[in-house]
Amino acid sequence: MNQDVLKQLKDIHLPAPEAWWHLPWGIGLLLGCLCLLAVFITWAWRPLKKRYHLRKSKQALQHAIKEELQGIEHQFQQTSDALTMLAAISILLRRVSMTVFEDEQVEGLIQSQWLAFLDSKWNKEHPKEGFSSQRIAALLSMAVYQKTLDEHAQQAGQDVLTLSKLWLHEVVDVSF
């Protein structure tokens, strides 16, 4: 009888090894959502990062323009040399225009075309005497070819400085 009972016994079988990734379906769904969230955050972060860098570069441009214009104004107040100031203002306005309005052909504009371009970029209605006004246009166009300026032209130089500040404030949003 012992022999019969022993023959009826079967070997002990170990259970199959557990899968290395055996998780309930809820946890799988949660991990899938987390992966989708990571992809979405990465996708959404790029425009935010680009906007941040554009804002920083705009602030750097505004700061550089403000410092340069303050330097020009400070030098003009010390030396009262309107010719140097007008040349520096003209160069600054051209550089700012080439930087801000990249899509437009600013480099080749001269005299009345250049002044009309400046007047066309006012966001709001420009002052009564814009860059194209006869007094300021003559000063900006011809001052670089003169050795000295008379008293009337010196005052007009101050007006050009003020008008340039207004233009830079409106076009590039530089605050003074």
Q: At what angle do helices 82-100 and 111-120 cross, to 10 degrees?
A: 60
Domain that holds residue 145: 58-171
What are 155-169's pLDDT values in tens digits?
778 888 888 888 888
Q: How many domains does the chain have?
A: 1
Alpha helices in 15-150 (DSSP H): 25-79, 82-100, 111-120, 134-142
pTM above threshold 0.85: no
* 32 within a domain of the structure (yes/no): no
Query: Residue 26: CA atoms inside 13 Å, Cβ hemisphere, count?
Result: 0
- 133, 16, 3, 105: which is closest to 162 by C-alpha? 133
Query: pLDDT by residue (tens digit) across 132-160?
Result: 777 777 777 777 677 777 777 777 788 88
Tens digit of pLDDT for each residue in 85-128?
Answer: 888 988 898 888 888 887 778 777 778 888 888 878 777 666 66
What does the block give as tokens for 170? 């409106």
Output the CA–CA distances (angstroms, integers) from residue 76 to 73, 82, 107, in the order listed: 5, 7, 26
Q: Is residue 50 part of a domain?
A: no
